[in-house]
C-alpha cells in the first residue's frame, strides 16, 4: 500500500541539463562499471579459451612450422598475464577518480542549494531496494555499514547525535536504490546477503540511482533461490551459525540452506520461512 505522503528534495545537478552529452556519459559510469565487472568475472574463461585455441592450432608444439607462430603465442601470454590485468587496474583507478569528482561536484551543488521552504518541497514516493544481512540470535536487519534496524525505523546519525537524518554534507540516513537491477547487482557481488524492498519516508534526497531518507519501512524480503552452502539445490530454510570476527568478536549470522545441507544443523538454529517472516515482521517471497 503506497498511501503515505512523502517529501523529497529533488537533488538535480545543473550540469545534468546543460552538458547533456558529457554528463550523461558520466552519470552512466555506474552502468559502465557494472558491465566492466561482469566482463572481469568471465575473463578467466576468455583467457583459457584463447590458450586452448592456441594449443589446438599448434602454438605450443615443437614443430618447426606451427599454424600459430611462437611469437604470437608468447605475445598473447604476456598480454593475458600482464597487459590486460594492468589495463583493468588503470580502468578501476579511472572509475574511482571520476567517482570522487562526481561526489565533490554533488557537494558543491548542495552548498548552492537555496534555503527552501520545507512545505514547498517536491513530493515523490520513495520506493527502493537494498541488500542486507540478517544477524543476531533473534534475526535483525543489518545494513552493509553494520548498522542494525527493525522493519520500521527512523535513521539515527552515529557521528553527530544532534542530526535529524538525512543532513546535507553528512552520510546519515537510510539509503536505497531506485532500481531493483542495481540492488541485484550488489547482491551478486555480496553472496550471502538478502535483497529487501523498502519504502522511505520523511525528508529525503533523491539521486539518479537512489534515495537517502529519514525513515524506512521494510516491505518484503526476497527468499534466495539457491542454498548458500552448496549453491546448487533450492533453498528451503533459514539457519543461524556462529561467526568469529576481528578480536574474537562473535556474532550470529543467518543464511539459507537446502534440505540436504540443513542436515546436521540443530533444530533450535533453524527457522522456516513463515517463522522468519514473523520474527522480522515482513513478507518473505
Q: Does 40 interact with Zn ion (rule: CB under 5 A)? A: no
Q: Does 168 interact with Zn ion (rule: CB under 5 A)? A: no
Nearer to Zn ion, 80 or 157 (CB): 157
Instruction: State which of residues 167, 186, 209, 220 lies at the interface with Zn ion (CB under 5 A).
Output: 167
Residue 142 backbone zone (phi > 0: left; psi -120 to 50: alpha; other: beta): beta
34-42, 97-105, 177-185, 221-229 -> range binding Zn ion (CB under 5 A): 221-229
Q: Which residues make beta-bridge pairs with 251? A: 243
Nearer to Zn ion, 73 or 134 (CB): 134
Question: 126: which residues sit within 8 A by CB, 6+ positions away?
Answer: 6, 8, 176, 199, 200, 201, 204, 206, 211, 213
39-47, 138-146, 163-171, 181-189 -> range binding Zn ion (CB under 5 A): 163-171
Within 118-157, the residues that bind Zn ion by CB under 5 A are 157
Task: Give the H or E element holding residue 30.
Answer: helix 29-56
Q: Distance of CA 87 to CAs 51, 181, 244, Å?
A: 20, 27, 37
Within 251-270, the residues that bind Zn ion by CB under 5 A are 258, 261
Q: Please report the DSSP string for 161-208 in residue order.
A: TT--SS-TTS--SEEEESSHHHHHHHHHHSTT-EEEEEEEEEEEEE-S
Nearer to Zn ion, 54 or 255 (CB): 255
Nearer to Zn ion, 175 or 185 (CB): 175
Minimum Å distance from CB 166 to Zn ion? 8
Closest by CA position to 276, among listed 240, 243, 232: 240
Minimum Å distance from CB 160 to Zn ion? 5
To the nearest 10°, the Cα dihedral for 34, 38, 43, 49? -140
C-alpha span between 77 and 75 (Å, rounded)? 5
Instruction: State which of residues 227, 237, 276, 284 lies at the interface with Zn ion (CB under 5 A).
Output: 227
61-69, 94-102, 177-185, 231-239 -> range binding Zn ion (CB under 5 A): 231-239
Q: Does 233 interact with Zn ion (rule: CB under 5 A)? A: yes
Residues that bind Zn ion (CB under 5 A): 157, 160, 163, 167, 170, 172, 227, 229-230, 233, 258, 261
Amino acid at each position: 500500500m503506497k498511501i503515505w505522503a512523502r517529501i523529497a528534495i529533488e537533488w538535480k545537478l545543473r550540469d545534468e541539463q546543460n552538458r547533456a552529452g558529457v554528463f550523461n556519459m558520466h552519470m552512466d559510469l555506474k552502468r559502465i562499471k557494472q558491465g566492466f565487472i561482469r566482463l572481469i568475472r568471465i575473463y578467466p574463461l576468455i583467457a583459457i579459451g584463447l590458450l586452448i585455441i592456441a594449443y589446438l592450432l599448434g602454438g605450443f608444439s615443437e614443430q618447426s612450422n606451427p599454424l600459430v607462430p611462437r611469437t604470437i603465442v608468447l605475445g598473447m601470454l604476456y598480454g593475458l598475464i600482464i597487459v590486460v590485468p594492468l589495463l583493468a587496474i588503470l580502468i578501476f583507478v579511472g572509475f574511482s577518480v571520476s567517482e570522487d569528482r562526481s561526489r565533490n561536484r554533488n557537494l558543491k551543488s548542495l552548498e548552492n542549494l537555496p534555503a527552501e521552504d520545507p512545505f514547498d518541497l517536491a513530493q515523490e514516493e520513495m520506493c527502493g531496494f537494498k541488500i542486507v544481512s540478517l544477524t543476531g540470535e533473534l534475526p535483525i536487519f543489518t545494513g552493509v555499514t553494520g548498522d542494525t534496524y527493525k522493519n520500521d525505523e527512523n535513521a539515527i546519525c552515529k557521528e553527530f547525535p544532534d542530526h535529524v537524518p538525512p543532513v546535507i554534507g553528512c552520510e546519515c540516513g537510510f539509503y536505497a536504490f531506485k532500481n531493483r537491477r542495481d540492488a541485484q547487482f550488489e547482491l551478486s557481488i555480496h553472496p550471502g546477503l538478502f535483497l529487501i524492498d523498502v519504502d522511505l519516508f520523511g525528508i529525503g534526497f533523491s539521486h539518479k540511482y537512489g534515495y537517502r531518507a529519514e525513515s524506512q519501512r521494510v516491505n518484503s524480503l526476497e527468499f534466495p533461490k539457491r542454498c548458500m552452502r552448496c549453491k546448487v539445490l533450492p533453498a528451503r530454510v533459514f539457519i543461524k551459525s556462529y561467526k568469529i570476527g576481528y578480536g574474537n568478536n562473535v556474532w550470529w549470522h543467518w543464511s539459507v540452506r537446502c534440505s540436504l545441507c540443513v542436515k546436521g544443523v540443530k533444530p533450535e538454529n533453524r527457522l522456516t520461512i513463515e517463522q522468519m517472516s514473523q520474527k522480522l515482521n515482513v513478507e518473505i517471497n
